[in-house]
Amino acid sequence: MDDPSVEKERLARLPISGDGPSSLWMRPVSFAGLLRILHLVAKYPRGISASELNLEIRKLAMYLTRRGSSPAPTTLYHCRNTLVRLEVLRRSAGKLIVNSGSNFVRTLLGQPSLGGTDLTEASREAFAGLVLQNLDCKVNFFDLFMPSRSTYSVEEFRVSGQAVVWRREQLLEGLSQVVLQRRESTSSLQLNTATEIKCVLYGLRYWARDELRLIDEYFLEGQGSIMYPVLSPGDTSVPQTVGAILSLLPVGGEWTTFSVHDLAASLCEHRRLPLAVLFTAIRWLHQNHSDRIVLIPTSRGFATLTARSRQREEFALRGYYHDTKGRYISHVRVHNSLRCLSNVLTT
Amino acid sequence: MSSPLERLGLHFNPFEPSASGAPVTPELWLPNSWGGKLREMLDMLGTGRGVKAVAIAGEYGGGKTYILQWLFRHEFPSRRIKPFYFDNPGIQFYDLANSLLRQIGRKDFAKFLWELSDFHVGGFQRSLFVKGFEEYLQGQRAGRARPEVLPALQAAILRAGVTKDDEIAHRLARIIAETPVKPFFEYRDFIAGGRNTLVAEREEAPYFSAILKTLQLGAGIKAVAFLIDEFEEVALQKRLTRREAHDYLATLKRLINLTTNQELWLVVGMTPAAVEITRQLEPALWERFTGEGRYSLQIPPLTALDAIEIVRRRLEAARPEGSDLPSRLYPFPEGFESVLSPAVISSPRRLIKVCFYAISEADSTTLPFSKDYLISIESKAYPAPEQEEQ
């Protein structure tokens, strides 16, 4: 249960609304790149200066932008700043050194650096632990998922976090704001400035969803984007998800049509499964029972009816299953006779 | 030597490979589970007052177009309702109205108005009507313009009950009078702001109502029905601006409003996703549109009996007279429905497509078709996903 007084106090201390920009340092950085930088810094027990580090990163191509180019000085600043703010590195006498007192950092040092944007699960969990213990990250984003909790572990966040909806709202005179609101609650955050939106929506939300896989997200017309905590990959099972879909089939009758969005809400959001698990389950069902599964596509244009940019279009399409023919599947028709498989797969 | 089709006891292949929409054969048959519910909805809407709109939701290849064609060819005419069929209209109300007027044509529309006015024109202008509409047009084309006819036509249009508005009556009278020099027209003629516009700003709706009334009175029908197919495809061509996206819903709203006040019916074919998104964007509109769900038909998948009946009827339409065949389903075996997969049997498009290939590939196969033959045809037409990906 939410405690209104605790909630009020917590929301009142949100730095986003009044404490200036110092708490808004999050940017969309690659955590795989951060891990490589950490390993590089670890080679310098007495520390390395920022300029030397920049040179080394560029020389060894340890951090590339999404377009595959060498990063700008600002990007490297944000990488260093993120590592320092998350207490992975610390500054000492003008140099950066590894904060080896942190268990999370020790875990990260023990993990291999994979190429590109890949991270091991252990690395991802360690970074997630560092993010969730950071006050700025918590109050600006993650606490909204965790009512009445001031501290929580990664596991606790995954298991007991609540869903949050975000949407853009039009204000007067052409201005707009982004509102993040916990589902089934009035607790909310308003993002009014470009910096707030950049740090929270494209920084923290991006970290949580794409880098750390703490949350997943789907879009519902008329409601907004629904973000919900997800279990770690080890706790999710495609066969169980297939079983869960099939258990929704009624006894008797011939066919049942499921909306993919409804499945996302009832299976993914409530069971804390990433959308990818649902889509893999649908693919498995279609490949193994194509005689009893009919995929129902929708037009891309209609699926992105209210999208105003290419990015928004891509985001709206995240909630549709993209099949092997390149179609966007909005509904799945399943023969009710497959219900008999649900028990086998669930167990 | 007999042709391959004669060997199958057929004049032609009664199944089409595209399996898109309705066949050209005059008689369309609907399964009872579809037609019964639709007739029930139309009966209820016809007796009540208010919105006269039905949403038909179904997957691609599920029978939406077929149902709309059935309504177009059979059901609405039998109810003295004149249907107009629109495939993938534009996003704005203008696009739909324009499409309607192009279907009718200016000359026919002017003739409707002319005939309606005929009985009500008095005085010396009466002589104009004696020789008929074609003679009038010829006279106008020959340069014998008669601007004095306008007031008489305007008064007659008012008396005929097409409209109660003097200005609209005047504009409609001009449509008749100017037809000889401009034998076509578009709804653009009714949009305010354009050159030679006929309509004052934001007054399109009353004009559209007058057009509907003209059609109703001129054709001696009870009502007009708009059958709109692939409503969701409006957005397919390009990314819509925000305003355009809302035009889509605005068009739906305006049409629904018109069905409340006019003898206009609206039947819209939509995919399940279009239903879902429209309902999410405008829940109140959706409730109103579908009468809180009472007038929304979710097309059910075909049952095995439906599938047998479709195949039987299609084959029957292609039989030479006096055929003496082992069964009514020949060359398909009795029980073919248990050989094909449920996914094929339940979907009209898949069923028709598989049947087409079964017939067209049957040159040397044993008859009636064997189980293995039908399975191989299905797997060619609808390969399993694993095979596709290899």
- B32-99+208-298: what fold? Rossmann fold (3.40.50)
Our measurement of the distance from residue A271's CA atom to the centroid of its chain's CA atoms, rounded to an integer in Å, reads 16
Q: Does A331 touch chain B (CB under 8 A)?
A: yes
Q: Does A326 touch chain B (CB under 8 A)?
A: no
* Contact residues, chain A, for B354 at CB < 8 Å: none
The arithmetic mean of pLDDT across residues B275-285, rounded, is: 83
**Closest to B119 measured CA to CA, from B60, B89, B161:** B161
**Are B380 and B343 within 8 A, CB to CB?**
no
Share of chain B above pLDDT 70, in %: 81
Structure tokens that stand for A176 in this block: 């707009």
Most confident among A265-274, B101-110, B174-183, B242-251 (mean pLDDT): A265-274
pLDDT recorded at residue B89:
61
Q: A302, A321, A333: which to substitute to probe chain B, counting the most B Cβ within 10 Å? A: A302
- In this complex, the residue of B242, B343, B386 whose CB is nearest that of residue A287 is B386
Structure tokens that stand for B314 in this block: 């299609």
The arithmetic mean of pLDDT across residues B94-120, rounded, is: 79
Q: Greater confidence, B128 or B378?
A: B378
pLDDT recorded at residue B1:
47
Separation CA B227–CA B53 (nearest Å)? 10
* Interchain pair B277, A303: CB under 8 A: yes
pLDDT recorded at residue B143:
57
| Res A2 pLDDT > 70 | no
pLDDT tens-place string over residues A108-142: 999 998 878 889 999 999 999 999 999 999 999 99
pLDDT recorded at residue A4:
47
Our measurement of the distance from residue A93's CA atom to the centroid of its chain's CA atoms, rounded to an integer in Å, reads 36
The arithmetic mean of pLDDT across residues B330-344, rounded, is: 96
| Res B194 pLDDT > 70 | no
Mean pLDDT of chain A: 88
Separation CA B240–CA A299 (nearest Å)? 13
Most confident among A92-96, B82-86, B210-214, B217-221 (mean pLDDT): A92-96
pLDDT tens-place string over residues A165-191: 999 887 777 778 999 999 878 888 999
The arithmetic mean of pLDDT across residues B205-211, rounded, is: 78
Nearest chain A residue (CA) to B338: A291
| Res B91 pLDDT > 70 | no
pLDDT recorded at residue A285:
95
pLDDT recorded at residue B253:
79
pLDDT recorded at residue B235:
44
- Identify the helix (H) or strand (E) that includes residue B100: helix B93-104
Residue with the two structure tokens 């990007």: A75
pLDDT recorded at residue B236:
43
ipTM value: 0.78
pLDDT recorded at residue A19:
45
**AA letter at B131:** K
Backbone phi, then psi, for B40, in 5-degree steps?
-60, -45
Domain segments of chain B as ranges: 6-25+302-382, 32-99+208-298, 106-184
| Res B316 pLDDT > 50 | yes
Paired sense of beta strands B264-270 and B223-229, if any: parallel
Helical packing angle, B166-178 and B149-160, nearest 10°: 120
Q: Does A301 touch chain B (CB under 8 A)?
A: yes
The arithmetic mean of pLDDT across residues A251-266, rounded, is: 93
pLDDT tens-place string over residues A31-87: 999 999 999 999 999 999 999 999 999 999 889 887 888 899 999 999 999 999 999
